[in-house]
């Protein structure tokens, strides 16, 4: 699913370090682009310059980033975000492809609604947008949708995100149908009988604020339930893993699933704890909730060991008015498209081109391969979706300057040291010299 057609540009990127995890390249090379296609990728001495010559010295030239977990809110919730504002935020963060979650109003639960969404995407989007289909009709968590019909209409996977399946029997049916349809099922592991009316992580902060706690058992029991279903033959992807126990359960199960089990986490689960609620209030209210320092250490270790090989933002914007409500009333959700890469670089501190290739693989080749997207690599003859990164540029996170309509982030005021300077979609600059062109 592509953004609206863009005018042809021809240019050569010179002097940069090309990082292409899909092919294993991490070194100096030039790229030439015309007609929306990468025409050459070669050492400078062998590259024939075409069009505008752009000096990328001291920059990393990477595939456009891919985010498989984004809430664009349109249709029906455009006071929170729109396709236009969400994709502008995406390219400002270096993302050229995003997958939009199905919990819109109405939900993306039928082929007709997929077609309507694709029609809405076509004009305002400034990057590629791929729909995810809802697992149940009306998000009712009772009747499964027609997975094959949703995929034929243009969805790239099926998910129960925000409306998690509860019964083991329905989970089994969903995985059997996903196996028949040949698609990935993206599960939101949460046992609602345990999470109930929880607000933030159950622990000393919830006790201090006298708020209902969200027990880690709500996610760990749900993960354990999903992991029992390996005999269904489906590919299962578990979203927003946030606790040590979840990561350990999944790591132990991966060999038994024989390549059909993956998981993702979001940057905030590596480095922000429940204490952020004391400073940011509802701007740090998210589901699953921010956890403990032991959990952030465990999730970071799981990313470092490649047990978790996909980073997704779970970008979930709400209006500032909604987030200004009391903690008990404010909705769950943080924004992340514009800070994700920089936060991960801050936590994992890549130094060498090889370090960057490893980190960027979690944002490019791995998510693209999981869902079979035509993205996440720098291939001669392939689409020119490119992100240019300054790996040594300090900037301060100022939510009021975000392109997203959401403002809720626990990183407000943080100084980060990696920035996206340019984003190229289908061969055209849409974000250049840190300014939005679209």
| Residue 424 in tokens | 């190229």
pLDDT at 9 (0 to 100): 87
Q: What is the domain partition of the chain in residue ranges?
A: 11-61+381-436, 64-352
pLDDT at 45 (0 to 100): 85
Residue 264 CB neighbours (<10 A): 25
pLDDT at 438 (0 to 100): 65
pLDDT digits (tens, 9 = 90+) for 227-282: 999 999 999 999 999 999 999 999 999 999 999 999 999 999 999 999 999 999 99
Q: Is residue 385 flagged as an active site residue?
A: no
Contacts for 81 with CB less than 8 Å, ≥ 6 apart:
71, 72, 73, 74, 317, 404, 405, 406
Contacts for 148 with CB less than 8 Å, ≥ 6 apart:
180, 181
Gap between the Cα atoms of 148 and 210, Å rounded: 46
> Is CATH 2.30.40.10 what the domain over 11-61+381-436 is classified as, yes or no?
yes
Residues 354-357: contacts with CB within 8 Å, 24+ apart? 354/26, 356/17, 356/19, 356/26, 356/60, 356/62, 356/391, 357/19, 357/20, 357/21, 357/24, 357/25, 357/26
pLDDT at 4 (0 to 100): 45
pLDDT at 40 (0 to 100): 97
Give the chain's end-to-end CA distance (angstroms, integer).
18
pLDDT digits (tens, 9 = 90+) for 389-434: 999 999 999 999 999 999 999 999 999 999 999 999 999 999 999 9
The fold adopted by the segment(s) 64-352 is TIM Barrel (3.20.20)
Q: Which of 283, 314, 385, 422 is catalytic?
A: 314
Q: Provide block-wise average pLDDT over 10 residues at a time, the chain (438 residues).
A: 59 97 97 97 91 97 98 98 98 98 98 98 96 97 97 98 98 98 98 97 98 98 98 98 98 97 98 98 98 98 98 98 97 98 98 98 98 98 98 98 98 98 98 93
| Fold match flag (11-61+381-436 vs 64-352) | no
Gap between the Cα atoms of 197 and 268, Å rounded: 22
């Amino acid at each position: 699913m592509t953004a609206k057609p863009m005018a042809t540009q021809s240019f050569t990127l010179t002097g940069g370090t090309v990082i292409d995890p899909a092919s294993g390249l991490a070194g100096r090379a030039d790229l030439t682009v015309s007609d929306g296609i990468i025409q050459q990728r070669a050492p400078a001495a062998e590259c024939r310059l075409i069009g505008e010559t752009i000096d990328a010295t001291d920059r990393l030239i990477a595939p456009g980033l891919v985010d498989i977990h984004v809430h664009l809110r349109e249709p029906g919730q455009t006071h929170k975000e729109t396709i236009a504002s969400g994709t502008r935020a995406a390219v400002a963060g270096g993302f050229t492809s995003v997958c939009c979650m199905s919990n819109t109003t109405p939900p993306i639960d039928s082929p007709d609604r997929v077609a309507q969404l694709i029609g809405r995407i076509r004009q305002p989007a400034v990057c590629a947008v791929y729909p995810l289909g809802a697992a149940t009709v009306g998000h009712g968590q009772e009747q499964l949708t027609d997975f094959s019909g949703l995929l034929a209409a243009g969805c790239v996977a099926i998910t129960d995100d925000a409306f998690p399946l509860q019964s083991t029997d329905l989970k089994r049916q969903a995985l059997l149908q996903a196996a028949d349809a040949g698609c990935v099922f993206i599960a939101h592991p949460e046992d609602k009988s345990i999470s109930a009316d929880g607000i933030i992580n159950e622990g000393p902060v919830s006790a201090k604020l006298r708020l209902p706690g969200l027990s880690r058992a709500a996610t760990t029991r749900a993960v354990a339930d999903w992991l029992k279903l390996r005999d269904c033959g489906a590919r299962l992807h578990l979203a927003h893993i946030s606790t040590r126990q979840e990561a350990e359960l999944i790591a132990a199960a991966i060999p038994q699933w024989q390549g059909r089990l993956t998981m993702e986490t979001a940057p905030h689960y590596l480095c922000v704890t429940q204490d952020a609620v004391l400073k940011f209030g509802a701007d740090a209210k998210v589901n699953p909730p921010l956890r403990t320092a032991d959990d952030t250490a465990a999730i970071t270790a799981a990313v470092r060991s490649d047990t978790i090989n996909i980073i997704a933002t779970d970008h979930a914007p709400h209006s500032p008015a909604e987030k200004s409500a009391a903690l008990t009333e404010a909705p769950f959700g943080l924004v992340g498209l514009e800070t994700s890469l920089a936060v991960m670089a801050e936590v994992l501190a890549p130094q060498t081109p090889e370090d960057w290739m490893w980190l960027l693989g979690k944002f490019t080749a791995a998510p693209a391969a999981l869902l079979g997207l035509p993205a996440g690599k720098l291939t001669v003859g392939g689409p020119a979706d490119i992100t240019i990164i300054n790996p040594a540029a300090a900037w301060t996170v100022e939510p009021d300057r975000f392109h997203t309509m959401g403002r809720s982030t626990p990183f407000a005021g943080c100084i980060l040291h990696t920035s996206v300077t340019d984003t190229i979609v289908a061969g055209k600059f849409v974000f250049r010299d840190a300014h939005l062109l679209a």
